[in-house]
Copies of this chain bind each other. A is one copy, B any other.
Amino acid sequence: MADAKIRVTVWNEFRHEKKAGKPAEIYPQGIHEAIAAGLRPDAALSVRTATLDDPDQGVSEKTLAETDVLTWWGHTAHKDVKDETVARVQKRVLEGMGLIVLHSGHYSKIFKALMGTSCSLKWRDIGEREIFWVCKPGHRIAKDIDDHFVIEKEEMYGEHFDIPEPEETIFISSFAGGEVFRSGCTWKRGAGKIFYFRPGHETYPIYFDERVRTVIRNAVHWAAPVANAPKQDYGNRKDGWWK
């Protein structure tokens, strides 16, 4: 991807924002537009959006083939995402597409399929203070982020978070109520890089926050696939080195 732009598809369930209420007030054009707006200023990225109610649920073979990094936000409609859609996305991740799973996306079918665990957690939604602490200084995803940052009002997510041991723990959060959460974690599946990033409850303007936007932008750069990654040929090998 040295020269070419990184092709990002920002996917959003886009259901909350269509009903009257806080999410619609905060995100009148949808959460995806707020996330995309945080990425578009980066000249190295070419950004499109997609939503659940688009044809092929927004992630057709063609769209996925043209996507280097996919960001995923969902909450109330995980069950509406078809298994064939999940299979399509998972296949592309294994081929090398980066995946950034946001907030309540922890319960999405695609994240659970890639993790193999329940991805359960504790939660409390009263709008409390969250402090993000950097646990991997120098990591690409923590670029330009100081040793911590604070969000004054967020939904709480608490441990135990039922995920496989992260390959890298980039952020750990504490909440005013005393809970902790591994709020920025990475894994690899096949040739694809996966980043889970916690913030983003639909009733707070989280995706307008510059620190949050910086982390997502960093993660897109980190998760972009490597050019000239030869495909593996699996299956039967007749030949061997017999001499």
Asked, given contacts A180-B174, A180-B180, whether A230 binds B147 with beta carbons under 8 Å apart, the answer is: yes
How does the 8 Å CB contact mask read for A211-243 relative to B, with 1 for contact and 0 for none? 000000000000001111111111111111110
The 8 Å CB contact of A226, one of B139, B147, B176, B239, is B139
How does the 8 Å CB contact mask read for A183-202 relative to B, with 1 for contact and 0 for none? 00001111110000000000
When the two chains form their complex, are residues B230 and A190 in contact, meaning their CB atoms are under 8 A apart?
Answer: no
Q: How far is the CA of A175 from the CA of B131 in the complex (A)?
A: 12
Q: Is A37 positioned at the interface, with any CB of B under 8 Å from its CB?
A: no
Q: Is A159 positioned at the interface, with any CB of B under 8 Å from its CB?
A: yes
Which of A5-13, A57-65, A73-81, A122-130 lies on the face that meets chain B? Answer: A122-130
When the two chains form their complex, are residues A137 and B123 in contact, meaning their CB atoms are under 8 A apart?
Answer: no
Residues of B within 8 A of A232 (CB): 120, 134, 137, 147, 160, 162
When the two chains form their complex, are residues B137 and A233 in contact, meaning their CB atoms are under 8 A apart?
Answer: no
In the complex, how many residues of chain A place their beta carbon closer than 8 angstroms to a beta carbon of chain B? 77
Residues of A whose CB lies within 8 Å of any CB of B are 90, 94, 96, 113-118, 120-124, 128-129, 131, 133-140, 142-147, 150, 156, 158-162, 164-165, 167-169, 172-180, 182, 187-192, 225-242
When the two chains form their complex, are residues B188 and A164 in contact, meaning their CB atoms are under 8 A apart?
Answer: yes
Nearest-neighbour CB distance to chain B for A163, whole angstroms, equals 9
Determine the residue in chain B with the shortest Cβ distance to A231: B137
Asked, given contacts A160-B147, A191-B138, whether A124 binds B178 with beta carbons under 8 Å apart, the answer is: no
Nearest-neighbour CB distance to chain B for A108, whole angstroms, equals 13
When the two chains form their complex, are residues A191 and B137 in contact, meaning their CB atoms are under 8 A apart?
Answer: yes
Q: How far is the CA of A130 from the CA of B158 in the complex (A)?
A: 15
